[in-house]
Every structure is written in C-alpha cells, then in structure tokens.
C-alpha cells in the first residue's frame, strides 16, 4: 500500500526514520493567525502526530487577506473550532489538542510542559517574552516568527545550548514604542512565507536533518527578496531563568479601570448621554464605529481636552489593548476624571450588539 | 559607512539604508564604536533613542556597544518586530 508520506520518506536523509520521529512528536502552536496557520497546515499534512492549537480570537473580516485557511462563512466563529475542523479533514490521523485560551503566566508552564517544540506565532511582545521564559524554564526549543510590513524575522531559540530571544533582545519594548499589527500593516503573503519557514525549522528540530536556525536570525525582505542571517551568541544569564516574571503585560502593575462590553452596552441603553473615545486608527474608525464615539487615535491621545460636565469617560479600541494604554495616559493627565477601558473592545461589542 | 535598516528603524528614517560619513567635514565626531554610532544616529533621529532593545549587527554578527566599527563594515539596525 502506498503511504501518504511516500514523497518525503523516499528522501534519503529523511526516510522512514524521519517520518517515525514526526509521528511521535508533539508541537504546540501559539496563535492561529497569519503565521500559525501555515505552520499547522504543513505540520499536519506532513504527519506530525500531535498538534496543540492555542487561541481565543474569532475570525474577523480583516484576517482574511493573510489568514488563508479561513473562509467568508467562518466570520464570527472561534478560530479554534474552524482550525480543528479543517485540520481534521486534512489529516484525520493527527491528534489535535485544543487550548481555548490565550497564553498567560498562569497557564504557560502547564501548557508547554507536554510538548516537544513550541511555535511562537503570536502578534505581541508580552506573549513572545512569556513563551521565551517558559521554554527556557522547561528546556524546550521554540521557533520564532515575526513580521513588520514587508519584512519577516525567523529564528530558533533555546535549542540545546543555543541562545534565547532575550540574548537578542534583553528587554521587552514598552507598548508605546512599537506599533502592533492593527496599526502597522502586513502584506498578505509575507506571513505565509515566514510561517512556512517556521514549519521547516520545526521539522528539522524534530528529525535532526539539516542545520537548525539556532544562533542565527533570518531577516527576509519581501520587497527585494533579500534574505540575510545575523549570528548571535548565548548569554548564560538568559539561559538561567528559574521562574516566570511577576508581570508580562507592562500595564499589569498599574490599576486601570475597566468595564465589560456587556455592562457598557447596558449603560449605553440606559444613559441619555455618554462620552466614548475610540482610539483606533483612522482606517479602522472609518470602517466601523459605534455611533456616539468620538475619534482620537492613540498616537494623539495627549491632545484630549475634556468637555465640561464629563465625569466618566469610556475608551474603546479593537481588542482592548490600546484602550488600556490610552486610559493609562488619560488617567495620568486628568486625575479628576475617571476613564474606563472597554474589555474586548469593538470585537466584543460587535459580538453582543443587537 | 552604509547602514541597513530593519523593522521600525526603517519607518523612523524613512528609507531602508542610511549613509554615515566616515570623515568629518562638518566637525561632527565620526562614530568609532557601536555605542557612538547609536548616539550619532540618535541625534539625527531622536525616535531611535526610544527603542529599548535595538540589536546592531556588524558584518552579519550581533555586536555589543563597545565593538569597534570602520567604514568597510556592513552594519544593520535590527529592532524587535512583533506582528504575526
């Protein structure tokens, strides 16, 4: 009987032995977005025995230009459910483990412990540093991919004696020094390229073929197809992490007033006048906003001037991250007023609004 | 001395490469180390000073602040990027 993996087992350096290693392997993919999906589709097709899926987002319209596993009829569904179904159809012999959560410092060690390799397919610095620290503590390699516009970065961190993410970038950037994906675009095809390179690194780690991209940062420039590799060395201090940090979200240490989307909706329905500031970009605001919202993008938040009579001011963004940053700044600048960040942002409001 | 720019440094400078004069006709101190180069660039582009983790590569290898640089070196500024 012809094996479905014949085209790779026929490769002399991979062979049945390589396939057997994939079958036995357990890989966790954190983030079911532009990077995580191609990683999963290839690892699942190639016969990695156990795949862990971790995300709590729903499929949104602006995901579709780069997250090509999702179809229009998936809009509004949990990414986890959609990916589970599609991967199961693609290869029914894979054991798929669903983690219906984001990675947090509470669940990171227990989640990662059971896997051989972790794929960092996230879109934010706090989770990237959390993955790094948890993998160092548990002695697991992780395959890193990250994007910026037309550019992509790939590396394998904490592989055997190799360096870690902190050997390259010791300190986490503060939220206001770097844009995230919503504010800073990504050309649809670039995550596909970077995610596919990550999948290749996972296969090399698991089977021992080739040279793992450890101690090297691969930089891909999509505009000129230029690929460069930067060498870097381990710093023993960074290999010696014994426990997770108290805080990863830099805002955890500040008290930010928040309100749930459900509560905010009740307030909207009962109050005749409320003040709501939408801190998303012009494009996002133009695309859709709540009718009473005033627009003030996060990068202009220090221009906010309160209107007389305002007491409670609500702040919203897409997912609730930028509104937290905005509330922090606003609360400092206007201590006599109370600002509330709406948890889950527009994503949540759209899900609950009638 | 030509410097390749990645991630947000490219956006800050507005170009993917940057030329730094290696002899001074202007009286400005010519940078001799990675640290001096960062200071030199930070004077022209103050936004660069805000980056808390900015990796610098000299001839395709990560370089510490004290490393010496010269006009033949290929230098790259590589900040962390976070998109996914």
Quote the ipTM score.
0.93
B84: in domain: no
A191 in contact with B, Cβ within 8 Å: yes
Which region holds residue A290: left if phi is over 0, alpha if psi is between -120 and 50, else beta? beta
Q: Give the pLDDT score at A253.
A: 41
Q: What is the CATH number of the domain that holds B70?
A: 3.10.20.30
Strand partners, A151: A148, A221
**What is the DSSP secondary-structure string of A275-342?**
EEEE-S-HHHHHH---TTPEE--GGGGGG--PPTT--EEEEE-SSSHHHHHHHHHHHHH-TTSEEEEE
Q: Is the pLDDT of residue A180 over 60?
A: no
Between A13-27, A245-259, A286-300, the lowest mean confidence (pLDDT) is in A245-259
Tokens linked to A330: 């606003």
Instruction: Name which residue leads in pLDDT, A131 or A329.
Output: A131
Closest CA in chain A for residue B78: A219
pLDDT in tens, B35-58: 999 999 999 999 999 898 999 999
Are the beta carbons of A123 and B57 separated by less than 8 Å? no
Place of tokens 């798929």: A96
Residues of A in contact with B11 (CB under 8 A): 149, 184
**Beta strands B61-62 and A338-342, pairing class:** unpaired
Fold category of A6-250 in CATH: Rossmann fold (3.40.50)
Residues of A in contact with B57 (CB under 8 A): 230
Closest CA in chain A for residue B52: A173
Strand partners, A144: A120, A155
B37: in domain: yes
B83: in domain: no
Active site residue A135: no
Say if CB A52 and CB A29 are below 8 A apart: yes
B61: in domain: yes
Q: How many domains does chain B have?
A: 1
Residues of B in contact with A121 (CB under 8 A): 84
Shortest distance, CA B21 to any CA of chain A (angstroms): 24
Say if CB A344 and CB A319 are below 8 A apart: yes
Nearest-CB residue to A171 (from B11, B52, B60)? B52
- A290: pLDDT confidence band, cut at 50, 70 and 90? very high
Shortest distance, CA A173 to any CA of chain B (angstroms): 6
Size of interface A-B (CB pairs under 8 A): 102
Strand partners, A147: A152, B83
Residue A151 CA to residue A172 CA, distance in Å, equals 20
CATH, domain range A254-352:
3.40.250.10
Say if CB A329 and CB A316 are below 8 A apart: no
Same fold, A6-250 and A254-352: no
**Which domain range does residue B50 map to?**
2-21+29-78
Residues of A in contact with B4 (CB under 8 A): 228
Which residue of A30, A219, A229, A248 to mutate against B (max B Cβ within 10 Å)? Answer: A219
Hey, where are the domains in chain A?
6-250, 254-352
Q: Is the pLDDT of residue A251 over 80?
A: no
3-state secondary structure of A140: coil
Are the beta carbons of A31 and B7 separated by less than 8 Å? no
Residue B10 CA to residue B77 CA, distance in Å, equals 9
Residue in A135, A167, A317, A353 annotated catalytic? A317
Q: What percent of chain A has pLDDT over 70?
A: 95
Residue B84 CA to residue B78 CA, distance in Å, equals 17
- The torsion angles phi and psi of B45, rounded to 5 degrees, stand at -125, 85
Instruction: Name which residue leads in pLDDT, A259 or A141.
Output: A141
A172: nearest Cα among A253, A110, A279? A253
């Amino acid at each position: 009987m012809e094996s479905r993996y014949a085209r790779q087992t026929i490769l002399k350096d991979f062979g049945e032995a390589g396939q057997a290693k994939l079958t036995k392997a357990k890989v966790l993919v954190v983030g079911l977005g532009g990077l995580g999906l191609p990683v999963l589709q290839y690892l699942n097709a190639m016969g990695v025995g156990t795949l862990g899926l971790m995300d709590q987002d729903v499929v949104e319209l602006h995901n579709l230009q780069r997250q090509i596993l999702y179809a229009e009829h998936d809009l509004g569904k949990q990414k986890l459910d959609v990916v589970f179904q599609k991967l199961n159809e693609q290869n029914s012999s894979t054991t798929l483990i669903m983690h219906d959560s984001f990675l947090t410092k509470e669940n990171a060690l227990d989640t990662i412990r059971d896997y051989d390799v972790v794929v960092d397919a996230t879109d934010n610095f706090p989770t990237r540093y959390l993955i790094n620290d948890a993998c160092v503590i548990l002695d697991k390699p992780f395959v890193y991919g990250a994007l910026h516009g037309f550019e992509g970065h790939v590396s394998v961190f904490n592989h055997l004696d190799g360096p870690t993410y902190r050997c390259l970038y010791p300190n986490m950037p503060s939220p206001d020094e770097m844009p995230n994906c919503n504010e800073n675009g990504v050309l649809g095809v670039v995550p596909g390229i970077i995610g596919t390179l990550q999948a290749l690194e996972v296969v090399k780690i698991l089977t021992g073929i080739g040279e793992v991209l450890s101690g090297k940062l691969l930089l891909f420039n999509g505009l000129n197809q230029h690929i460069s590799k930067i060498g870097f060395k381990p710093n023993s201090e960074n290999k010696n992490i014994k426990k997770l940090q108290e805080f990863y979200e830099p805002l955890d240490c500040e008290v930010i007033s928040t309100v749930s989307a459900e509560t905010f909706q009740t307030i909207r329905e009962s109050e005749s006048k409320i003040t709501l500031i939408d801190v998303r970009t012009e494009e996002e605001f133009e695309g859709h906003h709540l009718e009473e919202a005033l627009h003030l993008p996060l990068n202009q938040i220090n221009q906010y001037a309160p209107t007389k009579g305002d007491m409670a001011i609500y702040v919203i963004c897409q997912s609730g991250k930028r509104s937290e940053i905005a509330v922090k700044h606003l609360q400092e600048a206007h201590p006599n007023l109370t600002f509330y960040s709406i948890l889950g942002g527009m994503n949540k409001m759209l899900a609950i609004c009638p | 001395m030509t410097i390749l720019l990645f991630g947000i440094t490219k956006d800050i400078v507005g170009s993917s490469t940057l030329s730094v004069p290696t002899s001074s006709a202007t009286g400005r101190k010519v940078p001799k180390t990675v640290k001096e180069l960062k200071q030199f660039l930070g004077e022209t582009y103050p936004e660069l000073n805000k980056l808390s983790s900015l990796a610098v590569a000299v001839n395709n290898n990560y370089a510490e602040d004290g490393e010496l640089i010269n006009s033949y070196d290929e230098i790259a500024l590589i900040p962390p990027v976070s998109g996914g």
